[in-house]
Amino acid sequence: MPEALEMRDVVANIGEYRILDGVRLAVPEGSVTVMLGRNGAGKTTTLRTIMGFVPCLNGTVRLFGDSLAGLPPHRIARLGVGYVPEDANVFPNLTVAENLRLALPRAHGRAQAEEAVEQVLGLFPDLRQAYRRWAGHLSGGQRQMLAIASVLVSQPRVMLIDEPSKGLSPRFVDLLGEVIAQLRGRTTVLLVEQNLRLAAVAGERFTLLDEGRTVMEGPMEELLENTALQQRYLGVRVRERGN
């Protein structure tokens, strides 16, 4: 069985700068894998390379065994890769319901659409409550939930989520962790996260990035037990543990 998502020896530039130089990761189907690394390590660039926004100059990116080499972002999205970028946007002048409906696959009939929305609302009680409200009136945390829900409702085979906890209150960070943990088995998630607490709640496996390369991968417990590793590659963020 091929991995849902696999990268090997990936090299990528932005302009003339080498940003990724040896990214390797394996995301098993149905798992939540967390990618960690300090600011500037290359996490966002890795997700953008998977999506085809940044060309992969060397190495391989595979989705369920098939190479994504040279495909444009819209083709990669159509193959079932959902992307929730950093500072994900929602449509502020539409309601929560309208945001979700807009994200549904066009081929869905009415019953199928209702079922897809219902399934997603089951994971996000906050959004069910705010279903008829303008997305622009939601809190930052609720907006982040809506951005994730909008991708989820399209039933992606693999979801890439970039630092969803950024700027959120501790209550929402915990909520997000629980929501993402519930995605296990429903879809496959590659979550970028600097918040070790959220990573610990949501993730089963980790991949650690530093200066554009993968330095370690393994079960989440290995990272949680290894404070030396946390200190070396995640630095000051370690202090957030147990807050």
Ligand X SMILES: Nc1ncnc2c1ncn2[C@@H]1O[C@H](COP(=O)(O)OP(=O)(O)O)[C@@H](O)[C@H]1O
Binding partner selected for residue 199 from ligand X, Mg ion, none, CB under the kind-specific 5 to 8 Å limit: none
Q: Measure the CA–CA gap between 54 and 44, rounded to whole angstroms.
A: 10
Q: Measure the CA–CA gap between 204 and 207, rounded to whole angstroms.
A: 10
Closest CB to ligand X among residues 143, 213:
213
Q: Which stretch binds Mg ion (CB under 5 A): 40-48, 55-63, 76-84, 100-108?
A: 40-48
155 binds Mg ion (CB under 5 A): no
Q: Which stretch binds Mg ion (CB under 5 A): 41-49, 104-112, 148-156, 212-220?
A: 41-49
Provide the minimum distance between the beta carbon of 162 and ligand X in the complex, in angstroms, as a whole number: 7
How far lies 143's CA from each of 35, 134, 147, 234, in Å? 22, 10, 6, 27
Mask of contacts with ligand X, 35-64, x by CB under 6 A?
A: --x-xxxxxxx-------------------
53 binds Mg ion (CB under 5 A): no
Closest CB to Mg ion among residues 44, 155:
44
Q: Measure the CA–CA gap between 10 and 61, rounded to whole angstroms.
A: 8
Helix (H, G, I), strand (E, B) or coil at 30: coil
Binding partner selected for residue 14 from ligand X, Mg ion, none, CB under the kind-specific 5 to 8 Å limit: ligand X
- Which residues have C-beta within 8 Å of that of residue 237, sequence separation ≥ 6? 38, 194, 195, 196, 230
121 and 127 Cβ atoms separated by less than 8 Å:
yes
Among 21, 29, 30, 44, contact with Mg ion (rule: CB under 5 A):
44
Closest CB to ligand X among residues 40, 105:
40
Angle in degrees, 0-180, between the axes of helices 110-123 and 140-152, rounded to the nearest 10: 140
Provide the minimum distance between the beta carbon of 240 and ligand X in the complex, in angstroms, as a whole number: 17
How far lies 135's CA from each of 90, 102, 138, 202, in Å? 7, 13, 5, 25
Among 19, 96, 149, 198, contact with ligand X (rule: CB under 6 A):
19
214 and 34 Cβ atoms separated by less than 8 Å:
no
14 binds ligand X (CB under 6 A): yes
Closest CB to ligand X among residues 37, 156:
37
Helix (H) or strand (E) holding 25: strand 17-27
Interface contacts to Mg ion, rule CB under 5 A = 43-44
Interface contacts to ligand X, rule CB under 6 A = 14-15, 17, 19, 37, 39-45
